[in-house]
Amino acid sequence: MPVAELAFAPGIDAYEPSHRGEPILEVRNLAVAVDDGLAVENVDLSLEAGRTHCLVGESGCGKSLTCLALMGLLPPGARGVSGNLRMKGRSGAIPEKGPPEGLAMIYQDATASLDPLMTVGRQIVEALPADVPRRARRAEAEDLIAQVGIPHARARFESYPHELSGGMNQRIAIAIALAARPSVLLADEPTTALDVTVQARILDLMLEFQQSTGLAILFVTHDLGVVAQIAHDVSVMYCGEIVESGPVTDLFAAPRHPYSRGLVECLPRLSRQTERLESIAGIVPPLQARPTGCRFASRCTRADDLCSTQRPCLERRGNTGAVACFNPL
Amino acid sequence: MLQSPLNRRPGGLPLLHAENLTRIYPPPRRGLLRRGVGVHAVAGVSFEIHAGEALGLVGESGSGKTTIGRMVSATLLPTSGTVSLDGATFTNPMPLRRRARVQAVFQDSLGALNPRIRIGRQIEEPMIIHGFDRDARAGRIASLMADVGLPHSILARFPGEVSGGQRQRVLIARALVLKPEVLVCDEPVSALDVSVQAQVINLLAELRSQHRLTILFISHDLRVVRHLCDRVAVLYCGRIVEIGPIASVIDTPSHPYTRALIDALPPDQPGQRRVPSGRSSDAGTDASTGAGCAFASRCLQVEKLCLESAPALRPLRPGHASACHFAGTL
């Protein structure tokens, strides 16, 4: 990838391919089974230090389930998970229970993800690595509170989640995630429920941490605006599968999959006021009624006979990116 | 831009007029007799909407958007101030026929529908209350289903059985069933996925031009407001801090808060760097603050004057007003 294409990325110097190390986290063939079938299938992901990979798609496409599966936190409805995980050179099957070391996650509803009966300070202390001595733990937690931009850290240490706003709680959630000193952070729509002004500050905060620690971030969102702001790489998910994957500039400038194009086009923009917004006709087929061929075929304007009988696989196209489509744009 | 022929008739009377709207939520009890202090959710808000016009109302959570929407749709009484439609003030109770002229669509479509009543019956109910006969009801529902793009089969289903986008269309159909002139939309697309959000925004735009609807559109997303509205009012702590034509407000924001809202939006394309702005504290929700500008504690251009006296909403250009002491020099 040419350096120039990446140089714009907010606050992060360009990573040249030759300078880019091995991926920190590689996922191969992730599948999650639920009662009605496979909710997530054939998902490959690769995360690199200091880079943000965005996972985009509509509700029910399996974005959150992908994160939860990686964390070993499958919801009660899930039957099982399969796939391989390679992290810092070590590889193995995806663990069914408990997160692999070095992985931390923040959730959409921060207030609900915190324990209402415990002070936020104690919740941070709890997440610190075991080798931090007992005397230093409180000071370290207060440090983290200050680092995530909350004033009066000492006083806030004693606060309960209900005493703080949604934005503040999301900062606490970030502090908890960072307390374990992860090398990979999974963020499941952490700003969707927040005001735009608060969202902007939370995203800035995550970027600052990424710059100073080289954190790899997997960021799940359905807001293409957020993708444009923070992503280096993007994977577009539809019906449990990744349909397009590549650098963020390619997705916005020249999306290859008709679904990706639809997503980019239907974003309302401040700089442009058109008579009509583009929209993708139809709805996402439910899990029980997924078509045998391409899962997007019934909503696609480019679909032909092949699309309704055969499933396209994710294939490399050109130098960058991959797309799962028989008739790519 | 979606312009209706009736928009901004020079000298014409506005269809809807909100004057000096104030709403104080009663304080919680503290102990047996003592009461806490009430929250001024909305303080002295005035605006007009002409027939066929769409006014956007933007602001952060807690700024009083929903409270204004509920007062305008006559589901909440103002503590003081009035809302009037065609010169006639809202009263409590309100005559049925006048109530039918203002209808509302809410964000939480699952919460706004009764989960145990079939969708068809819920759309029909307002017409039963207003005394339409059976044939008229069936005919109206059939034409509405076509208008909002729903299959007839959905009428026999329960709200929990259909998708979020379809439920939002059901809410729009139910709001339109009595042929209202004014539609209050409270964050109607915020809970929807982008592709469905685009469908519903397009639907609202179509319905607006087809039925010459007058719309009060409440949203926290300026991008959506830009697509649908002619004018926009920016709300902070229960007061309007800026109001004007949408293009004018977005291109030349004249209040530091409006600028902060615009700067906080994610970019349209990768590589358009957003500039961080504003101080990092959360928005207040109570308009009963002491002297000075309510935004002063978050404002980057704050001066001595801002802490001493609260700025009034003053016109800058025709139709564009701002409540900032330094609006002209921003």
Q: Where are the domains of chain A?
A: 3-102+182-323
Q: Which domain holds residue B132?
A: 112-179
Banded pLDDT at B287 (limits 50, 70, 90): low
Task: Specify the pLDDT at position A278.
Answer: 83
Q: Answer yes or no: do A277 and B221 touch at CB < 8 A.
A: no
Say whether both B235 and B315 belong to one domain.
yes
E strand or H helix at A325, and its extent?
Answer: none
Contact criterion met (CB below 8 Å) for A230 and A224: no
Q: What is the CATH number of the domain that holds B40?
A: 3.40.50.300
Residue A55 near residue A66 (C-beta atoms within 8 A): yes
Lowest mean pLDDT among A3-12, A92-101, B194-203, B232-241: A3-12
Q: How far is A237 from chain B (nearest CA, A)?
A: 13
**Structure confidence at residue B1 (pLDDT):** 39
A-B C-beta contacts closer than 8 Å: 129
- To test the contact with chain A by mutation, choose from B268, B274, B298, B299 the residue with the greatest count of A C-beta atoms within 10 A, namely B268
Q: Which residues contact B44 (CB under 8 A, 6 or more apart)?
A: B20, B21, B22, B81, B239
The mean pLDDT of B83-89, rounded to a whole number, is 89
Is the pLDDT reported for residue A287 higher than 80?
Answer: yes
pLDDT at residue A285, as a whole number: 83
Compute the nearest-CA separation of B320 from chain A (Å). Answer: 19
Lowest mean pLDDT among A173-187, A274-288, A311-325, B7-21: B7-21
Contact yes or no for A260/A243 (Cβ under 8 A): yes
| Confidence at B283, pLDDT banded by 50, 70, 90 | low
Is B282 in Cβ contact with A267 (below 8 Å)? no
Q: What is the pLDDT of residue B284?
A: 61
Give the three-state DSSP class for A323: strand
> Is the same domain home to B290 and B197?
yes
Give the integer Cα–Cα distance in Å for A142 and A155: 9
Q: Each residue of B121-135: pLDDT tens digit?
A: 999 999 999 999 999
Q: What is the DSSP letter of B29?
A: B
Are B124 and B194 in a shared domain?
no
Number of domains in chain B: 2
> Which residue matches tokens 């002229």?
B101
pLDDT of the residue at A286:
81
B142 SS3 class: helix
Report how far apart, in Å, the C-alpha atoms of B79 and of each of A226, B26, B83, B216 are. 40, 10, 12, 21
| Predicted confidence (pLDDT) per residue in B306-322, tens digit | 888 889 999 998 899 99
- If asked whether residues B174 and B187 sit together in one domain, one would say no
Q: What are phi and psi of B41, to 5 degrees?
A: -70, -35
B57: pLDDT strictly greater than 90 = yes
Residue B34 pLDDT grade (very low, low, confident, very high; cuts 50, 70, 90): low
Residue B3 has pLDDT above 80, yes or no: no
- Residues of chain B positioned with their CB less than 8 A from the CB of A54: none
Q: What one-character DSSP code corresponds to residue A270?
A: S
Lowest mean pLDDT among A82-91, B51-60, B75-84: A82-91
Residue in chain B lying closest to A250 (CA) = B270
Query: How far, in Å, are A87, A210, A317 from residue A23 at the CA level?
Result: 8, 15, 21
Q: Does any domain span residue B213?
A: yes
Residue A78 has what pLDDT? Answer: 84
Which of A196, A204, A279 lies at the smallest CB-CB distance from B276?
Answer: A204
Same domain, B313 and B222: yes
* Contact flag A196-B264 (C-beta cutoff 8 Å): yes
* pLDDT band for position B275 (cuts 50, 70, 90): low
pLDDT in tens, A139-148: 999 999 998 8
Residue ending a domain, among B136, B158, B179, is B179
- Cα separation, A96 vs A73, whole angstroms: 8
Domain identity same for B23 and B135: no
Which chain A residues have a beta carbon less than 8 Å from that of B218? none
Between A95 and B231, residue with greater pLDDT: B231
Cα(A69)–Cα(A59) distance, integer angstroms: 17
At residue B300, does pLDDT exceed 90?
no
Distant-in-sequence, close-in-space partners of A79: CB < 8 Å, separation ≥ 6: A33, A34, A35
Where does B214-319 have alpha helices with state H? 222-228, 246-251, 256-264, 304-308
CA–CA dist A318, A326 (Å, integer) = 15
Burial B81-105 (b: 16+ CB within 10 A, else e): bebebeeeebeeebeeeebbbbbbb
> How high is the pLDDT of residue B149?
87
B219 and B320 fall within a common domain: yes
Q: What's the mean pLDDT in B86-103? A: 85
Residue A90 has what pLDDT? 80
- Using a CB–CB cutoff of 8 Å, tell me whether B310 touches chain A: no
Nearest Cα to B233, choosing from B296, B306, B175, B313? B313
Q: How far is CA A131 from CA A105, A314, B212, in A?
A: 21, 43, 68
- pLDDT higher at A280 or A255: A255
From the list A227, A225, A245, A229, the residue with the least C-alpha distance to A237 is A245
Average pLDDT over residues A218-234: 93
Q: Which of A148, A273, A274, A284 to mutate to test the interface with B (most CBs of B within 10 A)?
A: A273
Q: Domain boundary at B161, B179, B197, which?
A: B179
Are A283 and B269 within 8 A, CB to CB? no
**Structural contact between residues A238 and A259, judged by C-beta atoms closer than 8 angstroms:** yes
Confidence grade of residue B291 (pLDDT, cut at 50, 70, 90): confident
Contacts of B272 in chain A (CB under 8 A): 228
Task: Note whether B279 and B200 are same-domain residues.
Answer: yes
* Bridge partner residues of A103 (DSSP): A184
Q: Give the residue from B123, B155, B179 where a domain finishes.
A: B179
pLDDT at A272 over 80: no
Report which residue type is found at A188.
D
How many CA atoms does the CB half-sphere of A201 hold within 13 Å?
Answer: 21
A3-102+182-323 CATH fold: Rossmann fold (3.40.50)
Q: Does residue A16 register a pLDDT over 50?
A: no
B189, B300: one domain: yes
Q: Tell me the nearest-neighbour CA distance from B17 into chain A, angstroms.
A: 28
The answer on pLDDT for B109 being more than 50 is yes
Contacts of A165 in chain B (CB under 8 A): 282
B194 to chain A, any CB pair closer than 8 A? The answer is yes
Confidence (pLDDT) at A21: 63
How sure is the predictor about B6, in pLDDT bands with cuts at 50, 70 and 90? Answer: very low
> Is the same domain home to B129 and B219?
no
Does A82 or A4 have the greater pLDDT score?
A: A82
Residue B27 pLDDT exceeds 80: no
pLDDT at position A3 is 36
pLDDT (average), residues A137-163: 91
B-chain residues within 8 Å CB-CB of A283? 163, 165-166, 196
Please check whether residues B48 and B172 belong to one and the same domain: no
Q: Which residues pair with A110 in a beta bridge?
A: none
Q: Which residues of A touch B253 (CB under 8 A)?
A: none
The reply to whether residue B282 touches residue A165, judged by beta carbons under 8 angstroms, is yes
Residue A49 has pLDDT above 50, yes or no: yes
Least Cα distance to B253 among B234, B276, B229 occurs for: B234
Same domain, B90 and B207: yes
Residues ≥6 apart with Cβ < 8 Å to B294: B236, B237, B239, B284, B287, B310
Q: Which one of B2, B3, B161, B193 makes the best mutation probe of the A interface by having the most chain A beta carbons within 10 Å?
A: B193
Taking a C-beta distance cutoff of 8 angstroms, is the pair A262, B195 a contact? yes
Q: Which of B58, B59, B89 is nearest to B72 (CA)?
A: B89
Q: Which of A319-323, B38-42, B132-136 has the highest mean pLDDT?
A: B132-136
